[in-house]
Structure formats: C-alpha cells, structure tokens
Amino acid sequence: AQSVTQLDSQVPVFEEAPVELRCNYSSSVSVYLFWYVQYPNQGLQLLLKYLSGSTLVKGINGFEAEFNKSQTSFHLRKPSVHISDTAEYFCAVSVGSGSARQLTFGSGTQLTVLP
Amino acid sequence: AAGVIQSPRHLIKEKRETATLKCYPISRHDTVYWYQQGPGQDPQFLISFYEKMQSDKGSIPDRFSAQQFSDYHSELNMSSLELGDSALYFCASSLGRQTYEQYFGPGTRLTVT
C-alpha cells in the first residue's frame, strides 16, 4: 500500500522568502504524485502533478516540485512567497494499477506567510 | 466551464438522522470520487464510481451508501448519523477512471449535533 508523509505540519515564513514543503512517499509500484492547496473553507485545488517525464514540474502560482525517485521525495518549492499563499498544502499519491485512481493524502502542511 | 458542484454546502443534522449529499461532476466526466475530511485531518477516500458502477471502496462506514446516476451525478447517503461523522465531504470528478487528474468540488460541511 502507498503512503505519504509530510514532514512539517506548520511552516511559517516571511513574505518574499523562499519556501520548501517536504513530502516523502512509499510505494512498491509506480506512483503519480500531486500537490493540492486548500484555502480556508474552500475545496482542494491542484497545484501540480508528476505523472512521468521530467522530474521537475512546474505548477500554478509560481510553485514547482521535483520528483526524486532515489529519495522517494516530491518536495514543493517557491522562490518567493506572498501573503496570499497562506493555506494548507497536501501532498497526494495515486498508484497506477487496476481501478479508479483514488488519492492518498498526506497529513497536510499549514503554510503561513508573515508580513 | 463549470466546476464540480456539491449541494448542500452546509448541513446540520442531529444524531441518528439521515443525510444525503449530492455531487454534480464536470460535464462529460464519468468518474466520481468521495472523500471525507475530519477537522484538522487529511482527506480520506470513501468510494468511487465509474460509468455508474462502483469502482473502489475505501474507509466508508456500512451506514453510508452511494450511487452514481445515469447523468453521472452522485449521491452519498448517510444514515444513523454519529457525532464523528461531522466533517467536510468532498466530491471529485475525472474523465475516465484511468485519469490521474481529479477536480474537486467545494465540499459539503456536515455538522452532527
């Protein structure tokens, strides 16, 4: 079975500083990795995804993530954060086999951008 | 294009009552997923449907049932509600069950008192 570990439950960072949100996964088969963002009282919005190909993926709002198979990681980065990036971020994995592609989520990282 | 629609957005029920949550997927999307997100927790997969047939089952209690209709909308029926059922319930849809990109609705916040 696959699982996702988000190493930091809360990450405070000052505006315009860089940020990295860490995600590690475990799976014995090929995985497909996602980062979702959840603003307060809202649904989940897809930031970016890794399915195959280039290990560096770029998403919306200036975010990017790098898939590292040897370290089983998929860390999310942004070179300069804004106040509006304050939200909960979830890393998720979908395993490619058989049925519909349900997602397994990590426990989330609350990113708080400080002025 | 319209996104995934969920109704109602908020629902308050008492213990032992029943509730029905509805999900309208994006046009032409034939796969629907339901997730439950408890307070301060990550979303947990409940159940999915593809072409009106149940596809996969996750941690869905026996008190809950769901189905997908001919127009691809889905309903989650919850009976004998418990306090622990209070959560945000998300529906997501995708085009084809082999597709990895899921589009989430805004969620239904269920409060059981």
Q: Which residue range(s) make up the domain with A108?
A: 3-114
Q: What is the pLDDT of residue B67?
A: 96
B55, B51, B33, B35: which is closest to B43 by C-alpha? B35
Q: What is the pLDDT of residue A98?
A: 52
Q: What is the pLDDT of residue B59?
A: 86
Residue of A nearest to B107 (CA): A43
Query: Inter-chain contact A99–B99, Cβ cutoff 8 Å?
Result: no
Identify the residue among B4, B34, B41, B42 best suited for mutation to test binding to A, counting A beta carbons within 10 A and taking the highest. Answer: B42
pLDDT per residue, tens digit, chain A (115 aa), is: 678 999 999 999 999 999 999 999 987 677 789 999 999 878 899 999 998 888 899 999 999 999 998 999 999 999 999 999 999 999 999 864 555 578 889 999 999 999 9
CATH number for position A69: 2.60.40.10
- Give contacts of A105 with chain B, Cβ < 8 Å: 42-44
Q: What is the pLDDT of residue A54?
A: 87
**What token pair was written down for A34?**
């996602």
Q: What is the pLDDT of residue B1?
A: 63
- The total number of structural domains in chain A stands at 1
CA angle B81/B53/B106 to nearest 5° reads: 55
Q: Which residues of A touch B (CB under 8 A)?
A: 32, 34, 36, 42-46, 49, 51, 90, 94, 96, 99-108
- The total number of structural domains in chain B stands at 1
- Mean pLDDT in consecutive groups of 10 residues from the start of chain B, 113 residues: 90 97 94 92 91 88 96 97 96 81 92 97
A23, A20, A49: which is closest to A34 by C-alpha? A49
Point out the residue among A45, A101, A103 whose CB comes nearest to the CB of B99.
Answer: A101
Q: Helix (H, G, I), strand (E, B), or coil: what is residue B99?
A: coil
**What token pair was written down for B78?**
């919850």
Residue of A nearest to B97 (CA): A100
Distance linking the first and last C-alpha atoms of chain A:
41
**What token pair was written down for A6?**
């988000």
Q: Give residue-wise pLDDT tens across range A67-91.
A: 998 999 999 999 999 999 999 999 9
CATH number for position B100: 2.60.40.10
Length of chain B in terms of residues written: 113
Q: Which residue range(s) make up the domain with B60?
A: 5-112
Q: Is B5 on the interface with A (CB under 8 A)?
A: no
Query: Inter-chain contact A90–B43, Cβ cutoff 8 Å?
Result: yes
